[in-house]
Amino acid sequence: MTLPLLSIPMRHFLEVARSGSVNQAAARLFVASSAVSRQIAKLEASLGTPLFERHARGMALTAAGERLAAHLRNAQIDIEQVIEQVRDLGGQSARRIRMACTEGFAGHFMPLVMRSFESANPGCQLELHVGSPDGVSALLARGETDIALKYVVAPEPGLKIEHSATAPVYAVLRPDHPLARQRVVSVAEAVRYPLAVGDKGVTARQLFDQACSLQGLQYRALFVSNFSSVLLPLLRTPDVMLSGLVTVMHLIDEGTLVARPFAEAPLQQRQLQVLALEGRTLPPLAQDFVRHLVSAIAGAGRRKLGRPQASGATKKEFSPGR
């Protein structure tokens, strides 16, 4: 059961802030749109300042509205944590941890981390939402997830960094690829081959495009997707795929792929970060999960990058079902 922790005007305000629409907020709250508008007007009058800018396409928070929304979200999360702790005393708590990550972590890495944590903490409930980089940050900002894991190229306001590690972009290849025999690959070498890349919202693609622009290089992508799970089964020699190591480390271990770092500095500067909402203290179980996750990230960073295939060796085929 969800308890009504905020007053009606505050609940209506947060729902409009979340959806950006009075009509959508009304539908989620099961009330008339006029009722939501009245509550927002009542709240603005009591505070003596507008909380929204009204546009034809919806409602946008003012600076005052942004500050109030951030405070209310943190307060709501803190209250919910206390309720969970009280329920825990009565044996009713689900011991829930809500997580969000981008797609590259979801196929193999996060399931392993979640299973090993659950084995050490029986009775906990682990929820994972997979989204775009911007979508994952938005979930944190709205208080709809406790912990986020994503690649970052610049600081994000309102989010607290629980852990940060360097996470270069790699050229991922089949072991029989000519570039697999090199220790380092240049962008100029990579663009000579068919490329499998993420869409323009993916950090690996953004950094690769930046490096190409600095060198005046152009390329034609053979395959483009925002899902690495789509690109990986497509990869054949002589293709080159852009990826982080965590996404492909299990396939490197199997001997079906190798990874080679790029020589260019921009492709070395990406960070893999574990994030939480600024101003919020994670509950003890979530803190335990962060430590478990950080340990797994450190282990992934020590993995080998794979060996090239010897001449005449039998080529291993990638199996998407693995």
Residue 215 pLDDT > 60 = yes
Q: Tell the CATH topology of 170-268.
A: D-Maltodextrin-Binding Protein; domain 2 (3.40.190)
Hey, what are 168's tokens? 């270069």
Cα–Cα distance measured from residue 303 to residue 205, given in angstroms and rounded to the nearest whole number: 23
Instruction: Map out the domains of the chain as residue ranges.
Output: 1-93, 170-268
What pLDDT, on the 0 to 100 scale, is given for residue 117? 97
Q: 28 or 259: which carries more pLDDT confidence?
A: 259
pLDDT > 90 fraction of the chain, expressed in percent and rounded: 66
pLDDT mean across residues, the chain: 88
Taking a C-beta distance cutoff of 8 angstroms, is the pair 12, 44 a contact?
Answer: no
Place of tokens 């939402």: 129
Residue 64 pLDDT > 70 = yes
Architecture of domain 1-93: Orthogonal Bundle (1.10)
| Closest alpha carbon to 41 in 50, 29, 32, 30 | 50
What pLDDT, on the 0 to 100 scale, is given for residue 80? 67
Average pLDDT over residues 24-36: 90
Average pLDDT over residues 285-314: 87
| Closest alpha carbon to 144 in 72, 84, 77, 95 | 77
pLDDT > 70 fraction of the chain, expressed in percent and rounded: 89
Place of tokens 């852009």: 242
Cα–Cα distance measured from residue 288 to residue 306, given in angstroms and rounded to the nearest whole number: 32
Read off the pTM. 0.73
Beta bridge partners of 161: 275
Average pLDDT over residues 191-214: 94
| Closest alpha carbon to 147 in 173, 114, 112 | 114
3-state SS of the chain?
CCCCCCCHHHHHHHHHHHHCCHHHHHHHHCCCHHHHHHHHHHHHHHHCCCCEEEECCEEEECHHHHHHHHHHHHHHHHHHHHHHHHHHHCCCCCCEEEEEEEHHHHCCHHHHHHHHHHHHCCCCEEEEEEECHHHHHHHHHCCCCCEEEEEECCCCCCEEEEEEEECCCEEEECCCCHHHHCCCECHHHHCCCCEEECCCCCHHHHHHHHHHHHHCCCCCEEEECCCHHHHHHHCCCCCEEEECHHHHHHHHHHCCCEEEEECCHHHHCCEEEEEEECCCCCCHHHHHHHHHHHHHHHHHHCCCCCCCCCCCCCCCCCCCCC
Taking a C-beta distance cutoff of 8 angstroms, is the pair 196, 220 a contact?
Answer: no
Domain 1-93 identical in fold to domain 170-268:
no
Angle between helix 245-254 and 109-120 (nearest 10) = 90
What pLDDT, on the 0 to 100 scale, is given for residue 1? 42
| Closest alpha carbon to 194 in 160, 232, 221 | 221
Q: Write out pLDDT tens, residues 223-238.
A: 999 899 999 999 999 9
The number of beta carbons lying within 10 Å of the beta carbon of residue 138 is 16
Which of 72-76, 195-199, 291-295 is least confident?
A: 72-76
Residue 277 pLDDT > 90 = no
Cα–Cα distance measured from residue 303 to residue 235, given in angstroms and rounded to the nearest whole number: 21
If you average pLDDT over each of 30-39, 58-67, 157-166, 184-193, which comes out highest?
184-193
Residues 6+ apart with CB under 8 A from 154: none
Residue 2 pLDDT > 60 = no
What pLDDT, on the 0 to 100 scale, is given for residue 301? 86
Average pLDDT over residues 204-225: 95
Angle between helix 22-29 and 8-19 (nearest 10) = 120
Q: Write out pLDDT tens, residues 179-195.
A: 999 999 999 999 999 99
Length of the chain: 322
